[in-house]
Structure 1
């Protein structure tokens, strides 16, 4: 059993992975994000009760680039005090357990590949749509994170007058319609014509993001997650319509697109960092 931690810009959730499921899960809003010591103490206090169980290690996903080997996180999204944090060293000293750190969307993608809808694919991409747009990449059944753990940041690629995530994330609704994705989703469920048109426009832009993934990685499957993914029924049709100008139509026909079904998948992926890292340790004994 391993502890998994999903650290977001506004919240933290933790749990223990056992037999492909999360047990002892807790979650809360992050407090005093401008104070590094305060946020670290909150993370530590959340983890501490779980270490009373027999666990092999701790895996944590964070919304930032990571020095995966050293476990240092940089410039964590929406947590101003986390500019450079040696998270692995801090938590290993606190708990005397091996700790492994990675990007949060990479953890989501690992979770889907190991426990979820990506299990049957050797090459897949996880796309998480929230306030931003991030991706995780599995190639040959292994996570590809790049040298700086920055591979998959397709949302930051130039698109129109901004970048992709400006148009293909929750930001789209505040930027163009003075509303939120949640409000637009709620209205669409009630059949509001204006909201349905907004989601149709969003789907066109998200389809462009999918095309970027196809041209770049040509995966067997894409698994879509994140808070905005709940509205998938309202933007799927326009997303698929946007594929009409994709230069390799046969590739699009073969592409499998799935919507995540497990709310704990990022926690499962974070917990899986422990086993994956120890498997790659080539016999090196970790404390």
Structure 2
């Protein structure tokens, strides 16, 4: 039987996305399972393997049809060894041999990469990257992740930690603490949680009024989406928060582009669903700080694959390295 399908896995702290994907990058079937991080994460790869087997039976297919399993995992990954260096939210100890564990559980060739890198590969292959071989992908979600692709290959770095765009320092003095242990990281101002923090700080200042103020008063809490919705409606406080986020993001992306001169910078993750109001504001700041030759050649775009980017990029690992 031709090995013409790939299992793509996007491992998250609470949910794991799995898909069967063709060698051309088309999704045949996709589903989710809970991530069981109890018992030091020992059930994670077993549950994935069992779910893949169960789905194959449902579809009347054999495991022989799968060329392998590609996985994106949260945290720095040693691409050569398939060891995840640090993923405490999954229950694993440092330097967990994830690739070996996945291969043992599934009896299939497996490859592991950082989840943001997989999202970048997915967007390069089938999404906003549209085949561009030099691309930077930034995922704006609960945190901020990044993946850098140069000449079609993920930039790994010596320890698998390249592309940690969310931990570039944006506020060198007096910045908010970040989960990484530093303070003032881009993640503290450009993630969903960072945007909410900035909005709450702005609301806490005396004299704050307007739509965002009323939303907060009615609900007792606001979301990043509320900030963008209110900014669209002309709320001055929300626009102030948007401008601050766009400044830090545009400034950081311009410096990344000045270093790498990618063909495209793709913004993904839940925050990117704000769409043009975010992209336009970030682009204005990007153009302000980018070197002229970079500004004229690097395009900023919104990701198009949504939650599918990770599984598609994970399957690319297999296609590019093990596929027929």
Task: Please give the TM-score of this superposition, normalised by the length of structure 2.
Answer: 0.78
> Relative to structure 1, is the Cα distance of residues 71 and 80 closer, same or farther in structure 2, using a 3 angstrom cutoff?
same
| Aligned equivalent of 1:13, options 3, 13, 17 | 17
Partner of 1:107: 118
Partner of 1:260: 303
Partner of 2:185: 163
Q: Is the 8 A contact 1:9 1:76 kept in 2?
A: no
Partner of 1:2: 6
1:278 to 2:300 alignment: no
In the TM superposition, residue 168 of structure 1 has moved relative to its aligned partner by 2.1
SS at 1:128's partner residue? Answer: strand
Flag structure 1 segments of 5+ consecutive residues without an equivalent. none
Partner of 1:204: 247
Q: Is the 8 A contact 1:15 1:50 kept in 2?
A: no
Q: Is the 8 A contact 1:62 1:101 kept in 2?
A: yes
Q: Is the 8 A contact 1:201 1:238 kept in 2?
A: no
Structure 2 matches for 1:1-287, cutoff 5 A?
Answer: 1-18=5-22, 19-33=24-38, 35-50=40-55, 52=57, 53=61, 54-76=65-87, 78-81=89-92, 83-160=94-171, 161=173, 162-178=184-200, 179-185=222-228, 187-188=230-231, 192-246=235-289, 248-263=291-306, 264-278=308-322
C-alpha separation in 1, matches of 2:87 and 2:50 = 20
In the TM superposition, residue 236 of structure 1 has moved relative to its aligned partner by 2.4
Greater share of strand: 1
Compare CA radii of gyration and give the structure with the larger one: 2
Cα deviation per residue 1:63-103 (whole Å; 9 max; x = unaligned)? 11112122111222633445332121112122221000000
Q: Is the 8 A contact 1:2 1:55 kept in 2?
A: yes
In the TM superposition, residue 146 of structure 1 has moved relative to its aligned partner by 1.7
Q: Is the 8 A contact 2:82 2:111 kept in 1?
A: yes
CA RMSD of aligned residues (A): 2.5
C-alpha separation in 2, matches of 1:247 and 1:75 = 34
Q: Give the length in aligned residue pairs.
A: 280
> Relative to structure 1, is the Cα distance of residues 244 and 5 closer, same or farther in structure 2, using a 3 angstrom cutoff?
closer
C-alpha separation in 2, matches of 1:94 and 1:105 = 24
SS at 1:134's partner residue? Answer: strand
Cα deviation per residue 1:224-272 (whole Å; 9 max; x = unaligned)? 1111111132222321222354252232122111111123122111011
Q: Is the 8 A contact 1:104 1:266 kept in 2?
A: yes
Q: Is the 8 A contact 2:251 2:289 kept in 1?
A: no
Q: Is the 8 A contact 2:139 2:269 kept in 1?
A: yes
C-alpha separation in 2, matches of 1:35 and 1:250 = 50
In the TM superposition, residue 218 of structure 1 has moved relative to its aligned partner by 1.3
Flag structure 2 segments of 5+ consecutive residues without an equivalent. 174-183, 201-221
